[in-house]
Structure 1
Amino acid sequence: MDKPILKDSMRLFEQLGQIKSRSMFGGFGIFADETMFALVVNDKLHVRADSKLTRQFKALGLEPYVYKKRGFPVVTKYFALTDDWSADSNRTLTVAKEALNAAKEEKKIQSKAKPNRLKDLPNLRLATERMLKKAGIDDVESLEEVGAVKAYQAIQSSHSAEVSVELLWALEGAIKGTHWSVIPQTRRQELLNKLSS
């Protein structure tokens, strides 16, 4: 599937850091050094907006990207840039830098405001919290201490049913404060190697 807008955007953003793309929200998220700040979906470049950028974008008549999750619309923080905007690479790069800085700042704040309950961590639900508690991991601090692999093994040994490997990514994401789908393939392989060693 040829996505010229994705390739062109990634090339343009190379000066912002190590640029990667991953499948997200029905399109492709663009990351600089593991922080997502842009999205290519419906053949348009979308840029992440904080409250300041949201005001600017709305004043220009730009719209946030909306996707459906379980039949319900979800409004994202990503605004579609118009064609005239996308044609101006300097303008696009400037706004992308602003979006990236805002996304990094938000990430920093989120990591400081860690939840107390396991179920409130990214990727985890009440059922996962119960599984962890049954395995002897009662709080966020304990989970961070033992790490994803040992927590996964503890759940495996205390759980009667088979445990999916996706739980390993979910636990790693919970510890890192990110969605499991953004865990790099190299890190997943490291976790699997630790698991089988």
Structure 2
Amino acid sequence: MKRNNPVVEQSKAQLAALGKIESRTQFGGYALTVEKVVFAYINEDALYLRASEALHHYNAKRSLEPLVYRKRGMPVTLSYFKVDKLLWQDPEQLLHLSASSLRAAQDEAASKLVSLRLKDLPNLSLRLELMLHKVGISSVRLLCEIGSRQSWLKLRAVNKHIGLKTLLALEGAISGHHEAALPSAIREELYAWYLKTLRQHAAAEHLQP
């Protein structure tokens, strides 16, 4: 995984007022997120902000370059717009537009949570949706709030056959990844937690009279 990209670090520092900004590799660049909501991309060492009402008004005065990437050799234009040199030099305006991009992304994510069923998420089948319902996790919003580990523990409490694959599936469902496409660092962290949890459960069962 790429690390210490200077534009990633510059963006995190200059937009820190938005909250804890995290980055992950995507489309050959980086997605910037706050609480897992993507509001910006960094592509070829340039920052692009998600389209929003405030950015639309700003863009009407100063035409910003849209983000274009190639999919199967064909150019695809995304609703993200490049932060140019002039905007970088105006930290107050940049923060204002970035906050607007984040709000727009959050509003879209919230609306999707309302309409989505659990089985519509990556990796989740109707069977797993029904299992989650049985342990009190009846919505996408609730799954995201509880998180993959606690959700897995709830499932494991009623079905001891639930294993690592389900844990990875839950994490991917929450983060929007196919289970096989989870970043290696996340997979390793979950695997370590999974082994530790199994050992704790085994020790607890051994102590039972």
Aligned equivalent of 1:188, options 170, 187, 190:
190
Alpha-carbon distance change, 19 to 55 in structure 1, aligned in 2, over 3 angstroms: closer
Aligned equivalent of 2:22, options 20, 24, 32:
20
Partner secondary structure for residue 47 of structure 2: strand
User: Which whole-Å CA distance do the structure 2 matches of 1:109 and 1:98 have between them?
Assistant: 17
Alpha-carbon distance change, 173 to 79 in structure 1, aligned in 2, over 3 angstroms: same
After superposition, the C-alpha distances for 1:64-117 in whole angstroms (9 at most, x for unaligned) are 31223444544333211222112221111110111112222222222112237x
Q: 1:143-158 maps to which residues of 2 (within 5 A)? A: 144=137, 147-148=151-152
Contact 1:63 1:79 in 2 (8 A): yes
User: Which whole-Å CA distance do the structure 1 matches of 2:76 and 2:11 have between them?
Assistant: 24
How many percent identity over aligned positions? Answer: 26
Output the amino acid matched with 1:3: N
1:2, distance to aligned residue in structure 2 (A): 5.4
TM-score computed with the length of structure 1 as normaliser: 0.67
TM-score computed with the length of structure 2 as normaliser: 0.64
The aligned counterpart of 2:95 is 93
Question: What is the count of residue pairs matched by the alignment?
Answer: 178
Contact 2:48 2:82 in 1 (8 A): yes
Gaps of 5+ in 2: 139-149, 202-209
**Please, which moves more after superposition, 74-83 or 54-63?**
54-63
Alpha-carbon distance change, 18 to 55 in structure 1, aligned in 2, over 3 angstroms: closer
Q: 1:166-177 maps to which residues of 2 (within 5 A)? A: 168-174=167-173, 176=174
Structure number with bigger Rg? 2
User: Which whole-Å CA distance do the structure 1 matches of 2:51 and 2:192 have between them?
Assistant: 33
The aligned counterpart of 1:38 is 40
Q: 1:45-194 maps to which residues of 2 (within 5 A)? A: 45-50=47-52, 52-53=53-54, 55-56=56-57, 58-59=59-60, 60-115=62-117, 118=119, 120-121=120-121, 123-124=122-123, 129=125, 133=127, 138=130, 141=133, 144=137, 147-148=151-152, 165=165, 168-174=167-173, 176=174, 178-180=175-177, 181=182, 185=186, 188=190, 192=194, 193-194=196-197
Contact 1:115 1:140 in 2 (8 A): no
Alpha-carbon distance change, 54 to 18 in structure 1, aligned in 2, over 3 angstroms: closer
* Two-structure CA RMSD over aligned residues (Å): 3.9
